[in-house]
Structure 1
Amino acid sequence: MLSIQNLYKQFGNLIAVNDLSLEVNKGETVVLMGPSGCGKSTTIRTINRLVEPDRGTIYFGGIDITALPPDELRAVRKRIGFVFQHFNLISRLTALENVMLGLVMSGVPREAAQEKAREALRKVGLENHQHHKPGEMSGGQQQRVGIARALAYEPELMLWDEPTASLDPILVREVLVVMEELARYRASTMLVVTHELSFALHVADRIVLMDKGRIVEEGPPAKVFANPESHIGQQYKQLIEYQLHTGAQTLAGKRIA
């Protein structure tokens, strides 16, 4: 499905991605994790060339994305959904109009685009909000519109760049529920950049840990977080143990009270 080989990207003196290679299989949910600035977002942005790699190859369905001219790249991008940190919705348009806009602009007949947009909104639980404008929705609902916009193309690959990063903690769960449902039904292959440990533990087929532009460890969540080999993996294990410990203390305190 997706094969990244020897990817390298440098910004000035900063090496953001350093000789990274990664394979993602069809139907797989792979989660990229690591400290801020380790190259996670840069990596997934090179896949559809929102960021141009300095060198390396990226094969998607047997096609070398790095070698495509603009017209062919636009065609391939329609097969790759991308959900950003920020919602990037047009404030004067309704949820339905925001979702169908890209379809119409790419040549899909208006009625067909409208039907695809309605179905995408249904998948994210917003069928009753299709006529609401962004200002009339919560941040979580706006992000779900952004997800629906990506889903409307029925993509083979979904890229997620920290989709909950711009949300208040109380709104994070509603977006994670949508992501978990999509992963569960295997509607598309998913490559997710996130700091959400609960999502990674419950949904990921594979965790890929990055540090300083390189992959330092990868494997099933149970292996990576239970018996980590890397320093980053050990830090995540300690964080999980701390959260479990403090959660147990909180529950015990409530029982005593």
Structure 2
Amino acid sequence: MLSIQNLYKQFGSLVAVNNLELSVAPGETVVIMGPSGCGKSTTIRMINRLIEPDQGAVMFDNVDITRLDDAGLRTMRKRIGYVFQQFNLISRLSAIENVMLGLVMGGQSKEEAYGKALAALGKVGMEQAIDQKPGQLSGGQQQRVGIARALAFEPELMLWDEPTASLDPMLVREVLIVMEELAKYRAATMLVVTHEIAFALHVADRIVLMEKGAVVETGLPSQVFVEPASRVGRQYKELIEYQLSTSASTLAGKRIA
């Protein structure tokens, strides 16, 4: 479905993405992880050209997105949902109006757009808040509206750019639950940039680890996090082991007390 070939991006003297190669199969949930600044978000933003690549190809159903004109790109983006780090909701519009907006601008009638927006909000558990404006919603609820906005187009591919990065830790779980449900039912192929290890372990069909703009390891979560072949993979393994040992020590301490 998606094939990224020799993707390259440089900002001044910084090489952000260095001849990256990656393929994603239909229905697959692929999670991209790595240290901050490794090129994860730049990569995912280049797929639908929120950032223009310097060179390389992004093939989606045998169409090179990097070669599309403006009209072709607008059409392609209707097939590719994108969930941002920031919620990017319009404050004066209600939840359902925010979800409807792109559909109406794309030529759908208000009645058809309303029905699709309502269904999308139902998928993320926000059907009871359709008339509320962003300022009346928590951060987690706003992000769920942002997810519904992407789902309303019924995309074949969903791109997630650290969707929990702007959330208070107490609100992260509600967004991850929505993402897990979507991954479980495989309504769309998913490419997820995240730092959430538990989500990656639970949901990913494949983990892709990046460092310095390149893929350094890819494989099943059970492989990458148990028998890593890269330095980044070993760091994640150590972090997981530390978190597990800390949790075990805390539980033991509570039993003694």
Q: TM-score range by the shorter chain?
A: over 0.9
Structure 2 residue 175 is the aligned partner of structure 1 residue 162: no
Structure 2 residue 124 is the aligned partner of structure 1 residue 124: yes
Aligned twin of 2:101: 101
Structure 2 residue 216 is the aligned partner of structure 1 residue 226: no
**Aligned pairs for 1:62-141 within 5 A:** 62-141=62-141
Aligned twin of 1:243: 243
Matches of 1:90 and 1:50 in 2, distance apart?
Answer: 19
Aligned twin of 1:19: 19
Matches of 1:256 and 1:103 in 2, distance apart?
Answer: 58
**Residue 223 of structure 1, CA deviation:** 0.2
Secondary structure in structure 2 of the residue aligned to 1:226: coil
**Residue 138 of structure 1, CA deviation:** 0.4
**Residue 253 of structure 1, CA deviation:** 1.4
Paired AA for residue 231 in structure 1: R
Q: How well do the aligned residues superpose, as a CA RMSD in angstroms?
A: 0.5
Matches of 1:34 and 1:88 in 2, distance apart?
Answer: 25
Q: Which is further off, 229-238 or 61-70?
A: 61-70
Matches of 1:45 and 1:21 in 2, distance apart?
Answer: 15
**Residue 252 of structure 1, CA deviation:** 1.2
Matches of 2:256 and 2:137 in 1, distance apart?
Answer: 40
Aligned twin of 1:253: 253
**Aligned pairs for 1:167-246 within 5 A:** 167-246=167-246
Matches of 1:92 and 1:251 in 2, distance apart?
Answer: 47
Matches of 1:24 and 1:212 in 2, distance apart?
Answer: 21
Matches of 1:59 and 1:13 in 2, distance apart?
Answer: 27
Structure 2 residue 58 is the aligned partner of structure 1 residue 58: yes
Paired AA for residue 121 in structure 1: L
Aligned twin of 1:48: 48
Secondary structure in structure 1 of the residue aligned to 2:36: coil
Matches of 2:6 and 2:43 in 1, distance apart?
Answer: 11
Structure 2 residue 145 is the aligned partner of structure 1 residue 145: yes
Matches of 1:142 and 1:256 in 2, distance apart?
Answer: 42
Deviation readout 1:47-88 (Å, 9 max, x if unpaired): 000111000011001111011111011000000000000000
Paired AA for residue 164 in structure 1: T
Paired AA for residue 53 in structure 2: P
Paired AA for residue 209 in structure 1: L
User: What fraction of aligned residue pairs are identical, expressed as a percent?
Assistant: 73
Regions of 4+ moved over 4 Å? none
Matches of 1:238 and 1:158 in 2, distance apart?
Answer: 30
Secondary structure in structure 2 of the residue aligned to 1:240: helix
**Residue 19 of structure 1, CA deviation:** 0.6
**Residue 255 of structure 1, CA deviation:** 1.6
Matches of 1:256 and 1:143 in 2, distance apart?
Answer: 41
Paired AA for residue 205 in structure 1: D
Secondary structure in structure 2 of the residue aligned to 1:154: coil
Q: Which runs of 5+ in 1 are unaligned?
A: none
Deviation readout 1:70-122 (Å, 9 max, x if unpaired): 10110000000000000000111110000001100110110000000000000
Matches of 1:254 and 1:77 in 2, distance apart?
Answer: 51
Matches of 1:141 and 1:254 in 2, distance apart?
Answer: 34
**Residue 141 of structure 1, CA deviation:** 0.2
**Residue 210 of structure 1, CA deviation:** 0.1
